[in-house]
Homo-oligomer: A and B are copies of this chain.
């Protein structure tokens, strides 16, 4: 196994003349509203892809970690703080941006609709499937959609879509939307039981049986 010398490193890669790609983080911000998983998008106001929709993103500063760039992006573009996010995948096709070489580190962010700015542009994943988006952002959203579906099965990400206190019918609905299939009530409750705590509180006011309020364990 060969090694190249540090000298080569510096000559080839560190010099002022070596052309570096730009690095951006793009955020797939998902929420659930109106019984659908929706993604926050931005309308582009400049070329390329003028007037098309794209993911919110920011370039990564030279003194800023990727995660910090994401926090800044979520704050700047959506006014949000302290929400769940995780890295998805890094997209590096040479021609993914016609202006210049940009490598995009994509992130998944989840937020309950209650926390979200009402002016945000939200599009359901179903709609997006039939739309054209700027750059390779449609592919990125599809990747995020798959990740969410998979992780709903073996993690607790579903809770990120709900406020601190919630009912089991609400939680079940979130799972059904994420997994894109109906679930049996009784089975769902048996499976979810170890993950939740009864708050001793109830909902009320509706013309039917009230439901218990739970929070995540």
Contact = CB atoms under 8 A, between A and B. Distances in A.
A132 interface: no
Nearest to A122: B1
Contact of A1 (B4, B9, B14, B56): B56
Q: Which of A19, A44, A101, A120 has the most CB of B within 10 A?
A: A101
B103 A6 contact: no
A188 interface: no
A100 to B, nearest CB: 6
Interface stretch (A90-98, A156-164, A190-198, A206-214): A90-98
A19 B62 contact: yes
Interface stretch (A20-28, A166-174, A176-184): A20-28
Given A1-B119, A90-B105, A93-B65, A99 B60 contact: no
Interface residues of A, number: 51
Given A60-B92, A64-B94, A66-B90, A42 B77 contact: no
Given A5-B45, A6-B46, A6-B47, A20 B93 contact: no
A13 B65 contact: no
Contacts of A63: 94, 101
A43 interface: yes
B42 A1 contact: yes
Contacts of A66: 90, 92, 103
A152 interface: no
Contacts of A103: 23, 60, 66, 105
Contacts of A199: none
A20 B12 CA distance: 16
B42 A3 contact: yes
B59 A13 contact: yes
Nearest to A117: B1
A78 interface: yes
Nearest to A96: B65
Contact of A46 (B5, B56, B69): B5
